[in-house]
Structure 1
Amino acid sequence: MEVDNIVQPDQRLCNLMIYSYGKRGLIEEAFHLSRKMKASNIPLSIVTFNTLISCQPSLEASENVFRQMQRNDIEPDVVTYAARIGAFAKARQVEEAEYFFRVMIASGIRPNRTVYNVLMDAFANCKMVTKAEALLKEMKLNKCSPDVHTYSTLMNAYVNASDMEKAERVIQRMEGSDIEPNVVTYGTLIKGYADQGDLESMVKKYEEMTEKKMKINHAVFTTMLQAFGKYESLDRAKDWFQEVVRAGFKPDIRAQNTLLGLSEPLYRREEILEFLENVS
């Protein structure tokens, strides 16, 4: 009688499965597999814990995994710190994010571009432009080259602080460093002008973007749609929606809901529903 060979899972395969669970938001399944690894005497590695930390939905959950990692006598690496700093940044606890950045450096771990960008994002979201500029300077001094994400995040700091003049200058600084702006860069400026109701500048940035053969994304589309509806009219928003769809863009459900949300007074809601059905 022939017996099929059963392939036993190893550490690498388990870590890949935990990563897959985490990406899909199946956190309990990821934890369950880590417990099965332990029960099967498959060692939990730094990769296991880093993956678990990165997929946690809250700061508290992330810190619980970190403490579990410490109990297993596993030393954090740069990926661990990036995940922890990111968790504090997401919770808008900027001082703590910066503190652990300094702890990482004091531990002899050199921050990489990902870590710098994560901390830059924390400063940007809290409108801390001085801190963001200082971090960029420190990054360069430490021979870590900023990328398009770094500069786009710095730009976002100025946008959040309602300083569009300095936000615009970031593009010049990028070009001076031979870094090409991307759709996120232009989307950041477009959002800044949209928030201020400056639709002329918003459209100008969109035109610059398309001249560079960049394709619009859902974030830019929805931002502009909202701005047209808020500061001009529902009809202008409809025209914009139709114009972009005719150019080959496929709006997502968020964009459709945005247009529906602009349908005031309510009697125009039926009109918008019919419009969406016809353009889809």
Structure 2
Amino acid sequence: MINSTQVSYFILSAFFDTVGFKYLYFLLILSLYVFIVCANVLLIVVICVNRSLHEPMYLFLVSLFVNELYGSTGLFPFLLVQILSDIHTVSAPFCFLQIFCLYSYGGREFWILASMSYDRYLAICYPLQYHTRMTSNKIFLLIALTWLYPLLVHILIVFGLTAPLQLCKNIINKVYCDSYSVVKLACSDTSAINIFGLVNIFTVIFGLIILILFSYIRILKVCFSGPRQTRQKALSTCTPHLLSLLNFSFGAFFELIQSRFNMNYLPNMLRIFLSLYWLTCQPLINPLLYGLKMSKIRIVCRNLLVGW
């Protein structure tokens, strides 16, 4: 046990000996990061430069793709450096900065998906009133809320409640910095951050998930009671949103379970994969989901690539 005033860095103990394979892992992670950046930037550019895509749904998609770039940049460059390094340590200030970046990304992802479900709910359930309900001011307010609220909440959690804790250890059993892993190292009272974290999860995150599910239940009800053409059009636009929500919720659920319960009986590689899933698969899958499943984006991308 070390004195709390001496914790100036953390050791990431989940990294294993990669001698002989570290360059292969480096190239694999680098390839994923390059693909994520290129795919998300391409879709952002496609939506921004084409006036036919300047609709609320696509503006929310731009916000989603920007958030994928934000979260990926908080993880992948750090992983690349750690893979090539022989000593897997990180300074305390950078560790808390990474925690803030990754968790604000995760919270924002739920907010954006909720905004998108609300937009689809209005478009499909109230088509004649859609443009009067989804005004420019409301779009701006929703996008501002999705970006500002997670930032403010995680500034409070990370820098107001986690960083001031007195730590008696400095070993994090992850390949990146994790909020709850740091809290478990504390030798001071952690009840405030534990209560605040649970309240945030159950009131905000679960609340958003319930709102999203309610929106899509109403959407599906309208779809199956309408004509076949309307049903097919609605399902083609809603399917990517639902798949994205299920994918991210699945990854976040495993991260939550792994952080709060002892899962040392699992193989190290599996634990690493489960802890990274929510941070890597969403930025990787979303461009494919929306680029391939949404016809307007697919047609514009094809015309753009053919034109080149």
TM-score by length of 2: 0.21
Kindly name which structure, 1 or 2, has the bigger radius of gyration based on alpha carbons: 1
| Structure with more relative contact order (C-alpha pairs < 8 Å, separation 6 or more) | 2
Greater helix proportion: 2
